[in-house]
Amino acid sequence: MTSKTKPDSGSGPVAEVRLPGSTSNLGPGFDSFGLALKLYLTIKATARPDSAEICQVRTTGAKENAALPKNATNLIYRAMSFVAKHEQVTLPPVELDVHNDIPLASGLGSSAAAIVGGIKLITLLTDHKLSDQAIQSYATEFEGHPDNIAATLFGGFVTSCTNAAAEVHTLKFDWPAHIKVVVVSPESQLPTHVARAAIPQKFSRADAVYNLQRSALFTAAIAQGRYDLLWEAMKDRLHQPYRESLVPGLSEALALPKMTGLLGIALSGAGPSILGLVEDQADEIGKRIQDCFKKHKIRAAVRILEVENNGCVSL
């Protein structure tokens, strides 16, 4: 992966990356499962060695982007600075052109994409090479959990764990191409720290076993093509019951019954988006989920997405 070799006049190296959004947990796989989606963050970074500003940001895309910081407090730049400090690399002043189609605070991996993108860009701008394993470890340390990080970095369906030395181990599974993801995002945002604060510190052994069984069943069902088992495999007792009350309509959406084409339903990450894995009837399923929020006078956007198998790429 190399930076572009034709910088603008008066600038240093130029690099550009594209990262997929992602969903995580998929029901029982709390902080473990991630799935990359064809919904993208694109970042172009231009080194400006003579600039008095260490970071300037221009944003386009999702309407919420207008509120993103336009200076060094931007998450992308903070991730760049984090790794530069740890790797003892000099980070030049940069100009970031950001196009983001991933809605913010919606459980679709916007922060993970920004963090991985920033770390990838510093390796390109400074020609300081880092392995994907190192990038994943830094990004997970910065984000706090590996699920969305692994998905946006590697693509596809990934399952991750962190060992006692804070090393992240990730395996990527082939995702069945015919299974799409219906994502319904209510206008109400739900910051991850708020959603995580709703989860208790301790769980019963019965609830822990319940999730362990379904996490194992989910991966086996994907590996062996037993998609009929996903309905049960996507149930959860560790996080969804505690987050249902945070946005009106969530509990109704998660309680929807089986319907033609719907394989399973869950919160997307920390929410408030709801995801359905579908083989057919995607439009109808999206409308049914959307109606759960509509009853509470909350508008919600419906997206029908394919899984992105390529992860982060240099443009």
Who's near 260: CB < 8 A, 6+ residues apart? 280, 281
Tell me the pLDDT tens digit for each residue of 54-93. 999 999 887 667 678 899 999 999 999 999 999 999 999 9
Query: 68 or 5: which carries more pLDDT confidence?
Result: 68
Q: Which domains does the chain have, with CATH numbers?
A: 14-173 (3.30.230.10), 180-305 (3.30.70.890)
What is the pTM assigned to this prediction? 0.92
Confidence of residue 5 (pLDDT cuts 50, 70, 90): very low
Other CB atoms within 10 A of residue 135 CB: 20
Tell me the pLDDT tens digit for each residue of 131-172. 999 999 999 999 999 999 999 999 999 999 999 988 899 999
Confidence of residue 3 (pLDDT cuts 50, 70, 90): very low
Who's near 7: CB < 8 A, 6+ residues apart? 13, 14, 46, 47
Contact 229, 217 (CB under 8 A): yes
* pLDDT of 6 higher than 50: no
Helices 110-126 and 147-154 sit at what angle, rounded to 10 degrees? 50
